Structure 1
């Protein structure tokens, strides 16, 4: 269905009126688009689940859902190319999640429920636009109904308009639908039934079409489940599919998010020592040692710092300060400054890039320890056992805590290992007010933000020093090992 590539050429219809999803896409997707498209849809489906339990009225629900759909899965765009891209994202994301959520009955039921709600929302919106759009949708989806003649309509007038005004009756077309497809309407006494057929006014077709979509998607998920083992054996997309339901879809770190104390070029070191996850701490320490980073490391770390609140100007200053220890300022400006400005959306296509999620880093390129400046990747996934154990030891993590982390690594539960690392280095975080642990282990910036909030609450700021973090660690050793236990604790 999908081919991993940096190229993409559409061969399947991606019309916005084709959201019945009868034909899978045949165009190529990069791994980056594969993940980002799926996450866009996952954000929408999780928002649907969230809105359902908020007790909103119909208008409030529709308004809230419309906002997130327009943001994550827009059906239009400012240009033909943008519109085509959005249509591709909608089609591809549905089929990706269909694959990712076909594995178990629980996952299939969840996806079916949320996709049906999204389908109904879109169909009702389409209906409001008029008959032409609805007709185009039904044609693309291969849906047709047996429309009764005007003579039949008049002969059955007394039965058909039992719950309609005369004006509505005259304006409506009626369709002959098999009984089994109209159970919902029949149960609510909204349609007339005769000889095993329900006579449904055009305004009630949404319910019938939704029932067909539910049946279509249910069958499709069952078929996908039968072939999942084959699809998931692909080493490029298999891990993404298997972990999709655990993906982080919380706060968007595509733009700078200021943290308490304002990160700047002067205090990145302090944040690194105290609040960076191991994947970023490793890159930071490597940068301080080698005064350079390979391209993948610059992207991983640069976008993380951007999401942590470092402005473009401060990012340029920070990297220049390090790189110019082994090169001239002219060389830095010539070879590296452009890419930093590009990541902030100030060069090239002027697209503002998002900080990498944990899955992106785990699935991404591995560093080569033998190469100077190669420090990117996920230490839990990419480092050898001995290297990771030594790294944890340098951080004062030993005993049972180290063993638990190493066990997660052995079982390839890398994100759980990352979450355990946070737990060990932030004792009592789960009970600390204001510390949100939902994204820890799923996104480096969520890990970072939770850590910053943790230390802010543990030691309220006493004074604001230029270039220093407002919650200084002068009195607190960050994590030491309790003799014999390997458990981190605070030392004042």
Structure 2
């Protein structure tokens, strides 16, 4: 499988693996463009299935997001990765690379314009003598020992800079420019894909929409003004809590009352706040304000900000991908929250774990409310997520899409209740 990415691999992958592959590649490209030491990533091994899937999924994200910033980032990152890979090839590897490319080219039915010069270049590079010449450590960019003849329209970049000889509509491209030309053709291939691929059917796929949301979270700094996710300040959390799902509203109220949360619930609530727009600096402000206060009543947490500031700062920065393994964590979905053991916890899904009195209290419903009886019916059937969506619809006077229940989460609830989706 070639890392030129002429065609996507076929097959099936679980959604969670697809998500891991895509976000890992995104972080890998970010590190690459920052010129940081790039750690090994199992999902970006050149020529692997995961590598192919990650590349095409990021292309899908760029096309569907319609973000100029994300598209440019993808172009810069993928071209930089291609340059590095090309520069590390031995003569044998180079020949294998172009042979794979030629096999892929043969599968094209309606080939774009850049395919012909790519095929011509590969036919030269697959020759042993030429591959060894190109990969020689002493080979210079000014070398003109070998040439290939190409139509001038395929080499306009070189012509504009007067870097090639033009004769009777043909360009003599010297071997010193061949690597540079391969990079240019790779960029042309990627730009062609991003501007000429129709993905309209995917817009209604809830799995793709869920993945796109997470990619938008990961790439806030690349988004233009119209696509940027709204920021949330620490002083605005109380007012924003009016739109929280019951599970997160319960944690918020408990925290404001006790000034403490158990480790697991603090982790889940922190990720929720992060995913609805609380930046790392605002998160530090929010949690420091709470944990500087003395706990109200007995609580399993005996820590305080003054005593454990370094620990808390590290934990918050770790969640934002700024410490440790630098993984950018995302909040849990409803299925995960409902599966938690909350025997020693303040949280959980109210529709599953709360008794009648506590559920009415957090939902702000009375016994005679018709909505409460409808929720209880769903609860009795174990349809906790459906009960939450029903509550959302009645609370906000909206009708939710049937696909919303797929991988439903507290963040989706908040987005719908604030009409951000």
The two structures have a TM-score, normalised by structure 1, of: 0.42
**Which structure carries more helix by proportion?**
2
Query: TM-score under structure 2 normalisation?
Result: 0.48
